[in-house]
């Protein structure tokens, strides 16, 4: 396979992997929050029964896990690009 075509293929796979990873991470976060918190995650600021503590915890946990998965996908794509 030519180098340019291979690069496009690796880029396409990386974008697809990032999209799938985002979907599964979001699903996993919501599932975990419901499992351990027994309620929906605080996704709307209009819900008045959600405490600041819960909102900040959700923001921190979801941000950390989302960023980590994004980093993992990027590094995997970079590694695949270098070894293809």
pLDDT band per the 50, 70, 90 thresholds, residue 9: confident
How many other C-beta atoms lie within 10 A of the C-beta of residue 80? Answer: 14
pLDDT (tens digit per residue) in 16-62: 887 888 889 989 999 999 998 878 888 766 666 888 888 889 889 99
To the nearest 10 degrees (0 to 180), the angle between helices 3-37 and 52-82 is 160
Cα dihedral value 10, 14, 68, 78, nearest 10: 10
CB neighbour list of residue 61: distance below 8 Å, 6 or more residues apart: 29, 33
CB 78 within 8 A of CB 7: no
| Cα Dmax for the chain | 58
pLDDT confidence of residue 84: 63
pLDDT confidence of residue 45: 64
pLDDT confidence of residue 47: 66
Alpha-carbon distance of 4 to 62, in angstroms, equals: 36
pLDDT (tens digit per residue) in 67-78: 888 888 888 877
């Amino acid at each position: 396979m030519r180098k340019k075509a291979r690069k496009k293929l690796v880029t396409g796979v990386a974008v697809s992997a990032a999209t799938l990873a985002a979907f599964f991470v979001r699903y996993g976060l919501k599932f975990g929050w419901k499992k351990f918190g027994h309620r929906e995650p605080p996704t709307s600021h209009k819900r008045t029964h959600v405490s600041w503590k819960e909102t900040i915890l959700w923001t921190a946990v979801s941000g950390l896990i989302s960023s980590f998965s994004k980093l993992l996908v990027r590094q995997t794509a970079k590694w695949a690009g270098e070894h293809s």
